[in-house]
Amino acid sequence: MEKRAQANTTSGVACVGVIMDGNRRWAKENGLPTYEGHAQGYKTLKDLMRWARAAGIPHVVIYAFSTENWQRSEQEVGYLMKLFRFILENETEEMIREGVRVRIIGERARFSEDMQKMMEKMEAATGAAYDITLHLALSYGGRAEIVSAANALLKRGVPVTEEAFARALGSHPMPDPDLIIRTGGEKRLSNFLPWQATYSELFFTDTKWPAFSKEEFDSILAEFSARERRHGK
């Protein structure tokens, strides 16, 4: 893998996590069908990657679809699968042009075999040269990730240390997020990266994800840089 030169940064952020909440409510408020909220949410995600790259942030992890989201209506899950399929089939070349490497974390086995193959293909194609890595959490649940890592260590007979456990996580080698942003007004992590978020700075905003702006992102980065992070010391 070839990592291209990073932009200069004063943010001090190696990894930012985002819980993209509010797509459905944004669509409803704007008199649009639910799928339009998700479509606009994806456009905002692409904007976010440009903002993060300009700030020199090398890793972004996005909570795109949780294990619990499978329980939504068949119609909405079906639309989301179509959206994910569209991204996998059509967005690879743009990711390459934008210098974005894509990694997908989560329970891939719950997706169709052809989608799993497309995930592998996108990861391989975008990993040749990149400025920034997008970690897409799809069918992801933090507790499930922890249980899977524990079982993997037990099966291998490896002594359980924090370092060994971290390496066994499906998200490895993604760095722990320095900050996590949740849009949409809710103030919880909803099973997102419980192990990795131990010392993350948390930012909650009432702005619904499709309306999230560069100005608000930059404001959050500025507030983050002003916080004193002691990590328990």
Q: Which residues are catalytic?
A: 21, 69
Torsion of CA 170, 43, 59, 95, to 10 degrees: 90
208: Cβ contacts below 8 Å, ≥ 6 apart:
21, 22, 23, 25, 26, 29, 183, 184, 185
Dihedral sign, Cα of residue 69, residue 74, residue 80, residue 84: positive
- Phi, then psi, of 64 in degrees rounded to 5: -90, -35
Burial state string for 100-119 with b = 16 or more CB within 10 A and e = fewer than 16 = bbbbbbbbeeebeeebeebb
Q: Are 194 and 144 in contact (CB under 8 A)?
A: no
